[in-house]
Amino acid sequence: MLRFTAENLQPILSAHRLDTAGLLPLSACRITQGYLLARAGLSANEGSVLMLALPYTMPDTADEADRNISRYAVPCDYHHIAKDLLGRLIEELRRDWPGANFAAFADHSPIDERHAAAAAGLGMLGDHGLIITPHYASYVFLAEIITDLPTDAQPQIPQTCSHCGACRAACPVGLDKARCLSALTQKKGELSPDEQIALREGGLAWGCDRCQEVCPHARHAAPTPLAAFRQDRLYRLTAAEIEAMDDQTFSRRAYAWRGRAVILRNLRLLEKE
């Protein structure tokens, strides 16, 4: 059987155009939801993690300039994209490592994904709370495949950004997670008058990109090589379009998990201007 090494994984990763990946022992990760490991038949004391960064960046265009939702929400919900991609990867891994156990995770994960990504060498931890990768800055989604196979890969000491202060200065609430504008756009129910003003001043019906856009590393972020993030992109939404969207189409958008009422509320607030 092939050893589970970065060298042996490279042909599979390259075939899927995954150029930001790294291996580390599962024991080097911070376990946050151990029950997910147990459910997958994995132990926290053995095995390894293949960490992946899935970039979603696109070149600035006229569509990008007219965007009224966060960059990450322009393509289909990455959970759908990651599920398909990780499923195909696991099929190939099982072919090359028969008998091994593999489980894929994205977002709902048994480990601290950002810490694991930094320890696997994918990038550094930014003050805005995101991983900053060399090629795509922080415009990436994190996902991982965990296996019971051992690895010789050694974890790195997680590195941090230079703390230039650009993200903190640009954030309307100084990176206060409790008052994050992105979280505000996801809040259910009626918004207070102050919250409505904050949403209108933010200018986006879903999410906020300010801390990422001002990061010095974002100036040189490369477009995604992943075809799935280049397709079915919606840059600008209207309340009428969301109302007319069928349930199946709506369910594949990043804002669908909060329900139609939340994104409609936000769009109507912006459209009142």
Catalytic site residues? 107
Q: Beta-carbon neighbour count of residue 245 at 10 Å?
A: 17
Confirm if 70 and 182 have CB atoms less than 8 A apart: yes
| Gap between the Cα atoms of 35 and 33, Å rounded | 5
Phi/psi of residue 71, nearest 5 degrees: -55, -40
CA distances from 181 to 53, 176, 198, 210, 256 (A): 24, 9, 8, 10, 18
Handedness of CA 264, 269, 270, 273 (dihedral sign): positive
Query: What's the half-sphere exposure (Cβ side, CA atoms, 13 Å) at 211?
Result: 24
**Which residues contact residue 28 at a Cβ distance below 8 angstroms, ignoring those fewer than 6 apart?**
116, 119, 155
**What is the per-residue DSSP string for 164-203?**
-SHHHHHSTTTT-GGG-HHHHHT--SPPPHHHHHHHHHH-
| Gap between the Cα atoms of 200 and 267, Å rounded | 10
